[in-house]
Amino acid sequence: MDYKYLNNMLSEMDKDLSSKGMSRRDAMKLAGISGAGLFMGATDVSAMEKDQLPLKKSGVDAKIVIVGGGLAGMSTAARLTLNLKNPNITVIEPEKLSVSYQPGQTLVAAGIWDIDDIKYDRDDFVPTGTKVIEDRVIDFDPTNNQVTTAKGQVIDYDYLIVATGLQLDFERLEGLEEAGRAFSAGDNSRLHKAIGDDGICSIYTAEGAEKTWEQMQKYIEKAKNAKDGKKVQFLFTHPSTPIKCGGAPKKIMYLANARLKEAGARDNAELTFYPNGGAMFGVPEYHDAIHGQFKREGFKWHYRHNLVGVDKARKVAIFDAKWQEKGPFDPIMKDFEVISKHERKEVPYDFLHITPAAVAPREVGESDIGSAKGWVPVNKETLQHVKFNNVFSLGDIAQVPMGKTGGSIRKQYKVLVDNLIAQMEGKKLPSKYAGYTVCPLITDIGTVMLAEFDWTVKPTPSFPLDPTVERWIFWLMKVYALKPMTMYGMLAGKA
């Protein structure tokens, strides 16, 4: 663990706290935290490492292959290394920057962090003894316990962990077909040639986040100089598929709003949210809180609008708008029928933030380990494949409800390691993932609503505070604590 980095982060947080006349201990009390922890209470960051040391290691031997070396894959490799006496682990991952800190892309897009603040080299986080194959798997053969890479290497395994992540499907949008599909990390030059200029942007890659900040500044300046009462149009979309962090499309909207206010240009801008669904958030309590925030900030929104195209020449976003109408009376059901309707709707924009549809990589979705929906079908609690007992999956690619966040992975990878080792030992799988998800919803520069929930679809707060209230204390956690916990806690297999 990089203690120097962690202590520097804590030092920076202490400066921020001091500017508010508060010590870290005071902040810990405010948050209601008892006991030591990296967030506010730890005076020695090594305490976290000591608390997480495994009690014993399993002596079972097996060849484990992990496809995907991002946060999910590499954290799992690290934890397996801690819990096996003789780990035999191979990670297949083509991208050098696969472990870069994706949650920070929103902060880069608002000019709070620089892109270098989120870029991390994969090889700096490879657990001791773990082998890395710098290649991409293009074929899965679970019947014969083999995978094949793009370079033609056939790799055998006893146990397989699928942690490939998902792809960003820009090519399904009319007018952006040339953008293709992209991963969050890697060569996305094709995507950024198609978007990132003239007001179109997306925070879903690191370079895209950097370009978003460039475009945001350009259109804030336009709003600042707007005359004759004409408002600059800022549009934000949310697609019809599951996505990484369901709150991210709103975070960038809140941050654009903050920057507009900071520039004295808010009155000359109109911010509108276009979600495919019929609510702001799947948890009613958080929906109500966000709805109130939107009204307070003067945002506009239109439910059931799915972005299907972009006319770059005319600067028009094209939506499939859906609604329901009352139909004829059904004498048998003794009620009126409900008729679903939709229409193609064009909306002019100046600044357009696209949250792309998310899909499984074709080599996963179309393989024997995939499913009709593309994701890897696993038991949502044990994370074991529904058909192949020696295959497990976690992270964005796993077909579990509400599980596509780093906070979800933090719970999942521990469950998976416990269950994989039990499977290797011929024992009953002991651990269950309960669907925990967390979304630090940035509502302004300086405030965050910490939305925590699970499959109960109810708030499950970790702190004795109203989780629907925006707080500066959670902003500090987002900006200062979550990255080191991820990079030097999770990726060490300990947080």
Asked if 354 and 418 sit in the same domain, the reply is: no
pLDDT (tens digit, 9 = 90+) per residue, 355-401? 999 999 999 999 999 998 899 999 999 999 999 999 999 999 999 99
CATH number, domain containing residue 154: 3.50.50.60
Asked if 352 and 367 sit in the same domain, the reply is: no
Please provide the average confidence, as pLDDT, over all residues in the chain.
Answer: 90
The average pLDDT across 342-361 equals 97
Residue type (1 letter), 492: A
201 is catalytic: no
Asked if 111 and 223 sit in the same domain, the reply is: no
pLDDT (tens digit, 9 = 90+) per residue, 100-158? 999 999 999 999 999 999 999 999 999 999 999 999 999 999 999 999 999 999 999 99
Active-site residue identified among 132, 439, 448, 479: 439
Task: Name the nearest CA neighbour of 305 among 316, 320, 317.
Answer: 320
Region for residue 430 given its phi and psi (left: phi exceeds 0; alpha: psi -120 to 50; beta: otherwise)? alpha
Asked if 117 and 231 sit in the same domain, the reply is: no
Q: Both tokens of residue 275?
A: 């979600």
Asked if 117 and 179 sit in the same domain, the reply is: no
Asked if 354 and 370 sit in the same domain, the reply is: no
Host H or E run for residue 317: strand 316-330
Grouping H, G, I as helix, E, B as strand and the rest as coil, residue 118 is coil
Asked if 70 and 145 sit in the same domain, the reply is: yes
Distance of CA 68 to the CA centre of its chain: 16
Active-site residue identified among 27, 132, 245, 420: 245
Can you name the residues that pair with 136 across neighbouring β-strands? none
End-of-domain residue from the set 358, 384, 413: 358
Report the percentage of the chain scoring pLDDT > 90: 78
* pLDDT at res. 51: 45
The average pLDDT across 324-340 equals 81
Asked if 267 and 400 sit in the same domain, the reply is: no
Asked if 79 and 135 sit in the same domain, the reply is: yes
* Residues in Cβ contact with 92 at an 8 Å cutoff, skipping those fewer than 6 apart: 65, 66, 67, 68, 69, 132, 133, 135, 136, 137, 147, 149, 155
Q: Identify the domain containing residue 251 by its residue range.
A: 168-358
Give ∠ CA 92-138-146 in degrees, rounded to 5: 70
- Angstrom CA distances, 126 to 96, 162, 492, stand at 11, 17, 9
Residue 4 maps to a domain? no
Give ∠ CA 337-339-345 in degrees, rounded to 5: 160
Q: Structural domain tally of the chain?
A: 2
pLDDT at 37 over 50: no
C-alpha 455/C-alpha 418 separation (Å) is 21
pLDDT (tens digit, 9 = 90+) per residue, 143-194? 999 999 999 999 999 999 999 999 999 999 999 999 999 999 888 999 999 9
pLDDT at 410 over 80: yes
Q: Both tokens of residue 39?
A: 């967030």
Residue 18 maps to a domain? no
Asked if 270 and 227 sit in the same domain, the reply is: yes
Q: Which residue has the tokens 């990296």?
A: 38
Contact 241, 204 (CB under 8 A): no
439 is catalytic: yes
End-of-domain residue from the set 409, 435, 461: 435
